[in-house]
Structure 1
């Protein structure tokens, strides 16, 4: 195992585990507030970019170019050292983290201050067939894959006269009624409906879109009233919304629900929640029963004043609701990151830390082009007004002016030109044709 060469430094070293919302925004704030030579910053993440996840449904639907929702870490963090790799363990007692880089041997990195922000991973269940056929929806690669997959299923349905094959290809199932599931389904259904204009043999009613939710409502963050409106809106569009229903099997792409319904589906998308990153269990930091790192109201790790935590991987107390914890969403992550960075600066300078207290702004959700729901500061909106607020709010939160301009450019072009509905499924196996040609040459 190699050892990082910076173990003999005298300048305090801040190690940030994870380059998502918390990691990137913490580093941004630190490089703005720290004086020259006051501390060094290292951020470790398998990817070289941060993804603005609220725009993934629009990436999947083709409204926004995929490259415009990712922020290059090295470009926005010139004063930090960015390592592409995965932290596999943290020994905070000795202030050492073990990093496995993208290539090469594992490395031990020592630090003075630790920021744990590895985020979350999809929370799956041991459902037969799910691992083989399910598609997640947490990153750009999955959004691009889902877009290509849905369009490829439409192409396949239009290229066959077999009714069973066509029915299977045009059946799309989404499990999970939170923001990710509802927005992804709504945007993709809207896209697919537009794509059928180029397939005269297919009709919108030939498609079957199913939303499966285990609880008795969807989008609980926008309130009961807006949640019920969303169900009604989706059903009005012909989408089959199944509440109080669970997926029990997906073997051979045959979907089985616990209400006795069975049917074949060419697409199964799993968005039924998240769980803390498994890395948490490879540390000596205190965890709660859900595997989250226990945090104080100052965003320090309980019992460790030189370790900080925020975002999905931490159990951060919600001071506005005593006894509860902050929800794992982007709104909290961004605001926690700023407070966390300020508390690190205060610690370095011998000042006092400030507790994280957040006034909940509300929630917005897109239901396809010109449709949405919103519950912001007590005001409930739906339809075009909510859709416009969704875009306006998230545009204001996209990091860097560069990305804001590019997103607006995408939206502006979409006003004048129809979106592309071409499946680039081949990019997932770029060497397939070359391998086929090579095999034919060998056979000859």
Structure 2
């Protein structure tokens, strides 16, 4: 077969789902069976669950950025950019490259794994003044910002300014928010010892969530254990509460309290990538509605998985959908690759079924709560399970070596509390890291594919 007649498989997104799909396609397809292309703005796969440890300095950013070009057998063509629209009728994906060029990429089979973005609400000042915790750049930036608040508070002669710089607010009582608050609180607790002019009692961390419980998936006992650990460290937890408005130097809660702070970290959940809205297809709470085989009914050659797809959770039943977790994304990536190959070869596709293996929450140091296979663990045993799970899930031996070395070095030598220079004089906030305005409407996608209009 020549290049022209080989089927074209386009994979959108290099998260857990997309990368696992590409790797399996490479292993199971011969080079002359199909051409595989991956669309991603970054040349790495981000191990998202360990972002809080990058923000707290336990791990270096490079440790959890796993290169896509490490394998010698890697033959996938990578387009450095982001998909901003898909025309299902014409079988064309519209891509904005990292140089801001708009290109049309035709396909025969498309695997949509664009992931998710931070879920925000229409709260005054939120996107202008809050930080997110969804990307490697945000984690590195937040670390610089938190340390800079200690530096500025130490240098300030104004007690009001000093107090506001030493208060930190994290919104979101899920895994990301809880681990972020826990890890960064440990950072400031350790760092303040190097600032003899600062009163450690002025450092206050607030963790708030609109839900009545932290991490309800853990169950009442483990959830209560996690809350007790955080409260023992001095983190103030406010449940049934959210943000009413956010300003540059103050955050107002919905219960009426106004907290003077220069640090608002927003981790209140995720929503599917805006790319899904460009398809004009049926969605479930913003996620693309797919069959148990992860294909789009009525559109031949279209598959979706991960955070942006509403994949039926057949293991749970009762109409449940798979949660947007790395555990499901990893397995869905392999499974959808098998189904793409089956479709390519005219074979029957199989439905996705996976029973959740449990949950792990790393609260830093020796503190953790875990629930592997339904077994509730706390303290060191839970920490061993949490870190063991994350370590084993890293895709390359180089990444595993870097992470293990960082853990050991941090345990022995602690942190240096160095600002690396990511924080420029002009502050960057949530709206500056997630390019949600880059996507096209279905009408713009159609116009772009037809060549009649080029989007600005």
TM over 0.5, yes or no? yes
2:347 corresponds to which residue? Answer: 351
Secondary structure of residue in 1 paired with 2:69: helix
Does residue 173 (structure 1) correspond to residue 169 (structure 2)? The answer is: yes
Contact 2:316–2:355 (8 Å) recurs in 1: no
1:290 corresponds to which residue? Answer: 285
RCO higher in structure (CA 8 A, sep ≥6): 2
Greater CA drift, 17-26 or 408-417? 408-417
What TM-score do the two structures reach when normalised by structure 2? 0.90
Secondary structure of residue in 2 paired with 1:151: helix
2:417 corresponds to which residue? Answer: 421
Secondary structure of residue in 2 paired with 1:147: helix
Greater CA drift, 41-50 or 210-219? 41-50
Query: Structure 1 stretches of 5 or more lacking a match?
Result: 1-6, 433-444
Secondary structure of residue in 2 paired with 1:364: strand
2:361 corresponds to which residue? Answer: 365
Cα distance, 1:204 vs structure 2: 2.8
Cα distance, 1:8 vs structure 2: 7.5
Distance in 2 separating the partners of 1:147 and 1:165: 20
Cα distance, 1:350 vs structure 2: 2.2
Does residue 301 (structure 1) correspond to residue 288 (structure 2)? The answer is: no
2:396 corresponds to which residue? Answer: 400
2:33 corresponds to which residue? Answer: 38
Measured against aligned partners, the alpha-carbon deviations of 1:351-374 in whole angstroms (never above 9, x if no partner) come to: 221110011101000112110111
Secondary structure of residue in 1 paired with 2:101: coil
Secondary structure of residue in 2 paired with 1:379: coil
Distance in 2 separating the partners of 1:43 and 1:342: 17
Query: Structure 2 stretches of 5 or more lacking a match?
Result: 428-456
1:385 corresponds to which residue? Answer: 381
Distance in 1 separating the partners of 2:138 and 2:74: 29
Contact 1:173–1:209 (8 Å) recurs in 2: yes
Match of 1:24 among 2, 15, 19: 19
How many pairs are equivalent? 424
Cα distance, 1:194 vs structure 2: 0.7
Cα distance, 1:417 vs structure 2: 1.5
Cα distance, 1:221 vs structure 2: 2.1
What TM-score do the two structures reach when normalised by structure 1? 0.92
Greater CA drift, 96-105 or 219-228? 96-105
2:124 corresponds to which residue? Answer: 128
2:230 corresponds to which residue? Answer: 234
Distance in 1 separating the partners of 2:375 and 2:57: 30
Secondary structure of residue in 2 paired with 1:360: coil
Match of 2:406 among 396, 405, 410: 410
Cα distance, 1:145 vs structure 2: 0.6
When residues 159 and 428 of structure 1 are mapped into structure 2, their CA distance, relative to the original with a 3 A threshold, is closer
Cα distance, 1:289 vs structure 2: 4.4
When residues 268 and 326 of structure 1 are mapped into structure 2, their CA distance, relative to the original with a 3 A threshold, is same
Distance in 2 separating the partners of 1:19 and 1:388: 28
Measured against aligned partners, the alpha-carbon deviations of 1:138-180 in whole angstroms (never above 9, x if no partner) come to: 0110100111111110111111231101100000000000011
Distance in 2 separating the partners of 1:232 and 1:266: 26
2:69 corresponds to which residue? Answer: 74
Measured against aligned partners, the alpha-carbon deviations of 1:31-52 in whole angstroms (never above 9, x if no partner) come to: 1111121111001111121100
Cα distance, 1:296 vs structure 2: 0.6
Contact 1:254–1:263 (8 Å) recurs in 2: yes
Cα distance, 1:430 vs structure 2: 9.2
Distance in 1 separating the partners of 2:269 and 2:30: 40
Cα distance, 1:104 vs structure 2: 5.6
Distance in 2 separating the partners of 1:216 and 1:254: 24
Secondary structure of residue in 2 paired with 1:216: coil
Greater CA drift, 143-152 or 155-164? 155-164
Aligned counterparts, 1:182-331, within 5 A:
182-284=178-280, 286-322=281-317, 323-331=319-327
Measured against aligned partners, the alpha-carbon deviations of 1:398-444 in whole angstroms (never above 9, x if no partner) come to: 111111111111112223312221122x3343999xxxxxxxxxxxx
Match of 1:143 among 123, 139, 160: 139
Secondary structure of residue in 1 paired with 2:70: helix
Contact 1:17–1:118 (8 Å) recurs in 2: yes
Distance in 2 separating the partners of 1:173 and 1:263: 9
Contact 1:73–1:82 (8 Å) recurs in 2: no
When residues 253 and 126 of structure 1 are mapped into structure 2, their CA distance, relative to the original with a 3 A threshold, is farther
Cα distance, 1:346 vs structure 2: 1.6
